Each structure stands twice: as C-alpha cells, then as structure tokens.
With several copies, the nearest count.
Chain A
Amino acid sequence: MFQRIEMRLSGSGGQGVILAAIIFADAALEDGLNAIQTQSYGPEARGGASKAEVIISKDEIKYPKVVKNDILLSLTQKSYDKYIASLDKDGILVVDESVDVKEDVPYKVYKLPILSTAIDKIGTHMVANIVSVGVLYAIMGEGVINIETLKSSISNRVPPVTVEKNIRAFEEGIKLIRG
C-alpha cells in the first residue's frame, strides 16, 4: 500500500495545473492523509511553463518539495522538456497526446488525448486540468484517494456554475484510463 506520493503537474500558465494540485491536496486532507501543495511562479510565468507540486503522505511531510517524483503530468511540450529529467525511474509520466516523448524509458508512460477530450467532450479547453485529475485518479486507484472525496473537492474548488461540467470532465478523465 502507498505511503507517500510525490506528484508534479505541469503545463502552460492558465491551464490550471495549480488548481488540479490543490484539488488533490484538498481531497487527501479529507481522507485523513497529510498533504502539501506548492508551486513555482516566475515573474515571467504569464504564458510560460507553470508547475505545481503535491505531496500526499501517511506520515508527516517535512521537506515540502518533490524529491522523488512519482508522477509527472505534462500538458505541453515545453513543460515536458523542462521537468522530465526529474521523474523517478520507477515513476509514471502522463502527457497530452500532442507532446513528443522520448522512447525507451524506465518509467511508465501514458500518452492521452487530454486536451482534445476537454474540448471535444466538454466543449472547453478550460477543463483540461480536471480531465487530468480524472486521469491521475484512475492511474493511482482508490488506494490513495477516495473518488467521492475527490469529486466533492472538485465541487468545492471550481466556480459554482461550472461544477457539473467539471465533474463530467473528471469522469471523462477516468474513462481515458479505464475506457
């Protein structure tokens, strides 16, 4: 069973990876786990690469930053290029299908139509981050965070009028893994 997961969610500024990270951290708390969420800003982050980290752990979390990156999400080529080196060799990489990835790598790779799912299924690229939450949830499995907690965390953190859309996005994300 899991003891600690260190995730890094990356994309371009405005794709909402920070919110995705917050949703995980939030849900983890509700499930009685420890969680910490951080991000790196740049003064030039507008449009540039954006990064958010979440650590979820059964133990107290001391050092708050990712050391052993278990899961890396990259929604853009830029962010993949920037952060791939730090992914743990036993880790998991999740990228949008538009990203070119290296072959012959030790870690597991999921290349998925995240952005297009958001646009095609929900009608807006704005929910790509929540599709990603679904994807990551499905990959991690129930063992880490409860699906209901995650859903209620989504509902609490997105603008009220968009809750329904986002829950659908979440479910579409799950489908990308579970079919």
Chain B
Amino acid sequence: MSNEKNYKLIQGNEACVEGALAAGMKFFAGYPITPSTEVAEISAQKLPQVGGKFIQMEDEIASMAAIIGGSLAGLKSMTATSGPGFSLMQENLGYASIAEIPCVIVNVQRGGPSTGLPTSPAQGEVMQAKWGTHGDHPIIALTPNSVQETYEYTIKAFNLAEKYRTPVIMLMDETVGHMREKLTYKDPSEIEIIDRKKPTCKPDEYLAYKADEDMIPPMASFGEGYRYHVTGLTHDETGFPTNNNKISGELITRLVNKVEKNVDDMAYFEEYEMEDAEVVIIAFGGVSRSAKTAIDELRKSGKKVGLFRPITIWPMLEKQIDKVAEQAKEIYVAEMNLGQYFYEVDRIAGKKCPVKKINKVTGELITPNEIIEAVNGGK
C-alpha cells in the first residue's frame, strides 16, 4: 500500500493475503497446493517485510498445528490449502475448536474427490467445512465471490476468529482465487480490527477456560506471565482434563452455542433483485456471479428472479433462508458440486416452497445459461 493509488489489479489469492495483513496477520504456516499456493507464496514474501513470520511446514497437518502454536504465542495466524490438504487439517482443526484458538484457514476449492482436478474450480467442501472433523464443534466459514470481497472478508475472518476464539474458514473456490480484478485498498483507519480479549485478572486468578457472559473466555498468550494449560481433552474452566459428564456436556454445548447463538453477529449475505422475486436462486462464491448474469437475462424476459447469496456459509443463516422461503415460489440452489448447501436449504426452506438443485462437477464454473435453462424448466 506504499504505492500512491489505492487500487490494484490482483488475484483473489493475493487479495486474501492483503486482507490478512490488513487484519494484522503476523504468522503463516503452510504447504503448497494448487490452487491455493499463491497465498503461501505471497505471505512468504510480505510477512518478513512487516516483521511477521512465514514457515513452510512438512505437510498440512503440521501447518495447521503450527498456526495454532503461533496463535497461542500471540500472533494472528493463517494457513491456506485446497481439498486434499484441507482433509489433512481436519484433526487439528477440531483441536483449534475445542481449545478455542483463533486462526484462519483458507481453502481454495478445486475438483475432488481425492486428487481429482487440481486446477479446476469446484465447491465440493461446503459440508466438509462444517463436518470434516470428528465430534460436534463450532465452525464459521465465509465465501467471497470477488477479489474485493476476498480482501474484506479475510479481514472479517480474522475478526471473527479473534472475537469468538474459534477457527474461521475462508471457503474460496478456484474461480475467485485465480481471477484478477480490481482491489481497492481500505484506509487503515476505516478498517475495523478486532483483537482477542485478554485477561484482566492477575495471573494466579486466571481460569483460562472460564467464559464470560458472552460465552468466550479471555485469552492470554504464552509467555505473558499467565501460565496455563491447554488440552484437546474435554476440560473444565481451569483448562485441565475432566471426565465429569456434566462439565463435558456444558463445554461442548458452549463451544457450539458461542457461534450458533451469535449467528446474527456474523450473518453476511447479499440480496440481488430480491424485492419482487418469485424465483430465488441461492448461490455463493464464483457461481453467484453466474447467477447474477442469469438473473439479468431472466429479468429481461420478464421473469421475477432474484439471488440470495450467503457469504457466511456456516453457521447456517436459518432466519434469512426462512424469509426467502416465505417470499419465493421456487428456490434453486446452484453449486459446483452434486448438492451440499442444498440439503440445509431444503431442510429450512423446503417446508415452505420447492427447493431444486443446479449442480455441476465437471471442473467448470456453472454458466449463466445453465441457470437460465434450469429456471426456465430446461432441466
């Protein structure tokens, strides 16, 4: 941002790093994988310039572990990966959830399963983002659809991670990660930055996992004088393991509730041509742009079509989807997978109106035409 003009043509992946730096990222650990590699490469280049640390780990398991370590040591931390690496990160992602470690995980989705189509876009990890690790746990996941949004929502991802002490997933797709578009930088003074809540008590009074009213415990960094214990075992307020059934149940419930009950605080979404929409397309990420073009076309032929675009893809925007269902005669969920977000939309909206799927797993972005045809009853 030392350049005078405040905009630049850059890739989504680069915008992600710019957002992270704007949010205060000081630590990145990762392992290269297409199509997310630029996030690591640009972090490697920019972090030392701001006194931050980059490290290339031996694999994705270690990368996820290292950012948890980095965060515990007090630095805002991020990693980036794609499908296969995201699968490998799941165990330690669950650790971050239960140990309440703020961190951001970027997953630039490519064609799966397995090695699949490494250089093609897909949205096959919508459900994995929520359910990929074992056991019940909280997850926040955001899906930008442009370079600008990638920048802005990466900042928000850090803010949510810090505020709620939880891992936040930037669930991108190759389309957004690799496209180049204009990014307009924000003035630092305009950017809201949230830092983790620190303990105000004396070290010997610190109960590391005693939540305040807001369900979130203050977090000290290792080395600050608050010597405490962190574990992935079910633990009590002190942070030490317990087998007490009541406490165990309360812990898991609190963890999930601190996200689920605060959904309104993180409910990002866009409505496009929704005022009078009778047919509603629900789409996110790259596909939502196809949907907009399709809607523009469909509107020309007189169809009242609108878009509801969740940016916060987890937790589920139940209230908003329910409202859409109230209004819509028909909902289409368009995704580059065989139907994932569809299931939750169908569950919530299906009670009020028919919900249909538009899917594609060929490694290409769904086109506006495919949406138009689907809406026109073409399929």
A15 CB within 8 Å of chain B? no
Contact residues, B355-376 vs A (CB, 8 A):
365, 367-369
- For window 9-68 of A, CB contacts with B under 8 Å fall at 22, 25-26, 29, 34-45, 61-65, 67
Name the segment of B149-157, B163-171, B179-187 touching the other chain: B179-187
Please determine whether B9 and A29 come into contact, CB atoms closer than 8 angstroms: yes
A38 in contact with B178 (CB, 8 Å): yes
Interface contact A35-B181, CB-CB below 8 Å: yes
**A39: chain B residues within 8 A (beta carbon):** 178
Distance between A10 CB and nearest chain B CB, rounded to angstroms = 16
CB proximity to A under 8 Å, residues B123-154:
none
Question: In the complex, which of the residues B35, B175, B181 has the most CB atoms of chain A within 10 Å of its own CB atom?
Answer: B181
Interface residues of A in 61-83 (CB under 8 A from B): 61-65, 67
Number of interface residues of B (CB under 8 A): 26
B175 and A22 form a contact (CB under 8 A)? no
B243 lies within 8 A of A44 (CB): yes
Q: Is the CB of B119 within 8 A of A43?
A: yes
Tell whether, in the assembled complex, residue B180 and residue A36 are in contact, meaning their CB atoms are under 8 Å apart.
yes
Contact A35 B182 (CB under 8 A): yes
Q: Which residue of A lies closest to B286 (CB)?
A: A64
Would B180 and A22 count as touching, CB distance under 8 A?
A: yes
B292 CB contacts on chain A under 8 angstroms: 62-63
CB-based contact A64/B182 at 8 Å? no
Given known contacts A62-B296, A64-B286, A29 and B182 CB-to-CB distance under 8 angstroms: yes
CB neighbours (8 Å) of B87 from chain A are none
- Which residue of B180, B293, B369 is within 8 Å of A62 (Cβ)? B293
A65 touches B243 (CB 8 A): no
Inter-subunit contact A37/B180 (CB<8 Å): yes
> A63 near B293 (CB under 8 angstroms)?
yes
Chain A residues closer than 8 Å to B368, beta-carbon distance: 63, 67
- Once the chains are docked, how many angstroms separate the CA of A15 from the CA of B325? 50
Given contacts A63-B290, A63-B293, contact A41 B119 (CB under 8 A): yes
How many Å lie between the Cα of A61 and that of B182 in the bound state?
11
Could you give 18 example pairs across A and B, Cβ below 8 Å? A29-B7, A34-B182, A35-B181, A35-B182, A36-B180, A37-B9, A38-B180, A40-B119, A41-B34, A41-B178, A42-B243, A43-B233, A61-B181, A62-B289, A62-B292, A63-B289, A67-B293, A67-B367
Interface residues of B (CB under 8 A from A): 7, 9, 34-35, 118-119, 175, 178-182, 233, 241, 243, 286, 289-290, 292-294, 296, 365, 367-369
Q: A22-B180, A29-B182 are in contact. List 9 more A-B contacts (CB 8 A).
A: A35-B9, A35-B182, A36-B181, A37-B179, A43-B34, A43-B119, A62-B290, A63-B294, A63-B365
